[in-house]
Structure 1
Amino acid sequence: MTKSIVDTAGSVREGEELPIEPLRKWLDENIGDLQGEMHITQYSGGASNWTYCLAFDNRSIILRRPPKGTKARGAHDMGREYRLQNALKPVYNKVPNMLGYTDDESIIGAEFYVMEKFEGIIPRKHFPRGVEISEAQARKLCEVALDDLISLHNVDYKSANLEHIGKGEGYTQRQITGWITRYNKAKTWNVPSGKKVMNWLEANLPEKETICITHNDYRFDNLVLSKDDPTQIIGVLDWELATLGDPLMDLGNSLAYWVEAGDDFLAKSTQRQPTDIPGMMTRQEVINYYCTKQGLEPKAFDFYEVYGLFRLAGIVQQIYYRYHHKQTRNPAYKTMWIFVHYLMYRCNKIIKRG
């Protein structure tokens, strides 16, 4: 396979440039051994934190920083994201190596951290040109991705001294209450109230929950695949939402992004991962596989599906809120309010089905 299949960044968006001189000075003082000029590019895939590739003659590294504008309390915490990955690396080797962090906002205008760059394939809406995936490989990739999520959920977080990364017990209730609050605070005139969905979630809270390490943004475009074998995962990215939570809630989050072959045109127009190609599992197959591997009885998953979709609606609305109030000029956010309507429609469809 050629090098062109390896995921690369593009031009830096207007208004999101990094100041070169103070950044280079900090990197030389804190990272070291960075040879030649620094060339900065930016990844367009993320809709939350801003992610850059800093390329030098001898290596490339990744820089993550929060966006400009109002942010939800607890969101975009670069220090937490850096420390969590540092602590998780010894017990879950798909985490990238952390290289450095600073909360000194005078350097680039915000806190930031830098980490190693994985050289591999990131399956976004489509696999990159030159990567051919057979039905059998697609099926295997689904299984490997779910096995890695299960591996994360089965980490003994107490033995690994990771109890500090979240509150744990009561997670499900906190998530429902929290996302209702966030959605209401970010609501604009052109999106639904969501009251029916909110009331249903509050009335249908599961009686039991299991506590484990959850990623909360686990999907294919946050996975880095080997350029030599695209069915093997070499890295898992974007840990900003990771915490101690319920594994079925985590799976519900993943399913919210899972577009399958039979979905409608609007779902397919917003998909961010190639889960609709021949060989990929359906959402129900994902649920069945996960539950079988974990020794659970596949059961009605409606609550977790609705939660995942409502949470995604909240995330999308928070992003759109920044655009609506001119805190960002990213044109990709202009029509996100339409997707909020669609996600609420999906929630109501599942509720009615149940």
Structure 2
Amino acid sequence: MAVQGLDLPKLQAYVEEHVPGTGPLTAELLHGGRSNLTYRLTDGTQTWVLRRPPLGGLTPSAHDMKREYTVVAALYGHGVPVARPIVQCEDDSVIGAPFAVVEFVDGRVIRTRDELDALTDAEVHDCAFALIDALAALHAVDPASVGLGSFGKAQGYLGRQVRRWYDQWTRVQTRPLPDVETLHERLAAMTPEESGASIVHGDFRIDNAILGPSDVTEVRALVDWEMSTLGDPLSDLGLHIAYSDPAFDPVLAGGAAATSTRMPPADELVARYAKTSGRDVPDWPFYLALGYFKAAVIAEGIHARFVAGKTVGEGFETVGGAVEPLAAVGVRALGSQ
């Protein structure tokens, strides 16, 4: 059976070459992911996950398969929960785009509010804190010690982020939105010095983690690393908090666990991160507003692919409505500064 976004016969030949003993493959598009496409592959004995860029992607730097695979391969076995790396391919002739394959991690992914509501209040609280602890563990890794010393340039990271996400905006915007322009201008004018340097995930939220099947405080794997780099660790925290805003809900197809009001409030999560990581959290309004800026541009990119007829799956028709509210909250986060 044909699977949109995959050339299964060519993929079969490629995987057989790189993973000897592979049997006939079947594939299915998994739920989750409003950016890269994620598939489950199996030969009946082994099971993997394949990731590839979206069809008709408009922001190439946000769909970097080599980057995603490189960081997962480096972090595997070094105290950060990630899937075991299998193979990465940059040859577009195999399935029409670069892709990466990692081992399937059996566990629980909490995407929806209904799935979150199956947990007790204590479980929700402890799960949220476990995720913050996993983020702090990532930020504690010395990049050079795992071969990622040249994975990015941490110095000047914040200024580059402001410029890069605005450049993404100019590529994907489908209509003029004054609050996006205002947010960009204010972020550019008040960019602080970096608070530190670490490996940053770049897309950290609850549905980008695989949890234990019966223990949601067990983080088995962090996934979706395509925006990872070296940079300011507080940028991860700011985006994580922005993702928790109900304004982001349409981007996650509505009813998302990440935006549930049952999750601990932002100030508790920030305090937990500061305690676990041992880091100060200076210039917090900037980091939070930068998170909202990124979230708004991500939403517009998804909306642009939907308008162009380049999305796979359902639930994209409401995403465009999230962009303006996200930008407006980002402007408000900066207050009168």
Query: Would the TM-score normalized by the shorter structure come out above 0.5?
Result: yes
Asked whether the equivalents of residues 226 and 232 of structure 1 are also in contact (C-alpha less than 8 Å), the reply is yes
Correspondence 1:52 to 2:39: yes
Is the CA contact 1:216–1:254 (under 8 Å) kept in the aligned structure 2? no
Closer, same or farther in 2 for the Cα pair 1:267/1:17, shift >3 Å?
closer
How far is the alpha carbon of 1:253 from its aligned partner? 1.1
**CA distance change for structure 1 residues 229 and 65 in 2, over 3 Å: closer, same or farther?**
same
Aligned partners of 2:336, 2:249: CA distance in 1, in Å?
A: 21
Which of 115, 118, 134 is the aligned partner of 2:102? Answer: 115
Partner of 2:7: 19
Q: Distance in 1 between matches of 2:148 and 2:190?
A: 30
Q: Residue 51 of structure 1 aligns to a residue in which SS?
A: strand
Aligned residues: 337
Give the drift of 1:240. Answer: 0.6
Query: Aligned with 1:227: secondary structure?
Result: coil
Counterpart selection for 2:241 from 252, 255, 278: 255
Higher mean displacement: 325-334 or 74-83: 325-334
CA contact (8 A) 1:213 1:244 kept: yes
Q: Tell me which amino acid in the other structure corresponds to 2:162.
A: I
1:168 counterpart (145, 154, 161): 154
Residue 178 of structure 1 is matched in structure 2 by 164
1:335 aligns with 2:323: no
- Per the alignment, residue 286 of structure 2 pairs with 303
From 41, 50, 72, the counterpart of 2:28: 41
- Contact 1:257–1:272, Cα closer than 8 Å, also in 2: no
2:299 to 284, 306, 316: 316
The ranges of structure 1 where at least 4 consecutive aligned residues each deviate by more than 6 angstroms after the TM superposition are 263-269
- Per-residue CA distance 1:155-191 (angstroms, 9 max, x = gap): 1112222112111111011001111121122211264
Evaluate the alpha carbon distance shift between residue 134 and residue 326 of structure 1 in structure 2; reply closer, same or farther with a 3 A threshold.
closer
Q: Which residue of 2 aligns with 1:7?
A: none
8 Å CA contact 1:52–1:63 kept in 2: the answer is yes
Cα deviation, residue 141, structure 1: 1.2
Counterpart position of 2:215: 229
Q: Is the 8 A contact 2:90 2:97 kept in 1?
A: yes
Q: How far apart, in 2, do the equivalents of 1:88 and 1:152 lie?
A: 9
Which structure carries more helix by proportion? 2
Partner Cα distance (2:249, 2:226) in 1: 30
Matched to 1:80, the amino acid is R
CA contact (8 A) 1:98 1:115 kept: yes
Please state how far the C-alpha of 1:85 moved relative to its aligned partner.
1.4
Q: Structure 2 regions of 5+ residues with no counterpart?
A: none
SS in 1 for 2:62: coil
* Residues 1:346 and 2:329 are matched in the alignment: yes
User: After the TM superposition, which residues 185-334 of structure 1 pair with which residues of structure 2 at under 5 Å, given as runs?
Assistant: 185-189=171-175, 191-192=177-178, 194-259=180-245, 270=254, 272-274=256-258, 276=260, 278=262, 280-297=263-280, 301-328=284-311, 330-334=313-317
TM-score (norm 1): 0.86
- Aligned CA distance change for structure 1 residues 108 and 269 (closer, same or farther; 3 Å): closer
In the alignment, the residues of structure 1 paired with residue 261 and residue 275 of structure 2 have an alpha-carbon distance, to the nearest angstrom, of: 24
Identify the range of structure 1 (145-154 vs 53-62) with the bigger mean alpha-carbon deviation.
53-62
| TM-superposed deviation, 1:297 | 4.7
2:302 alignment partner, SS class: helix
* CA separation of 1:221 and 1:23: change in aligned 2, threshold 3 A: same
* 1:314-346 Cα distance to aligned partner (Å, 9 max, x none): 111122222223344654333322110111121
Using the alignment, how far apart are the partners of 2:224 and 2:260 within structure 1? Answer: 23
Shift of 1:132: 3.7
- Change in CA separation of 1:158 and 1:21 when aligned onto 2, cut-off 3 Å: closer
Matches of 1:268 and 1:23, distance apart in 2: 29
* Letter matched to residue 334 of structure 1: E
Return the letter of the residue paired with 2:260.
D
Deviations along 1:27-67, whole A, 9 cap, x unmatched? 222113334x4321112310111110012221211111112
TM-score (structure 2 length as normaliser)? 0.90
Cα distance change, pair 132–333 in 1 and its aligned pair in 2 (3 A): closer
Once the two structures are TM-superposed, the CA of residue 88 in structure 1 deviates from its matched residue by 1.9
**Please, which runs of 5 or more residues in structure 1 have no aligned partner?**
1-10
Deviation at 1:70, TM superposition (A): 4.2
Which of these two proteins has the greater Rg computed from alpha carbons? 1
Asked if structure 1 preserves the Cα contact closer than 8 Å seen for 2:238 and 2:287, the reply is yes
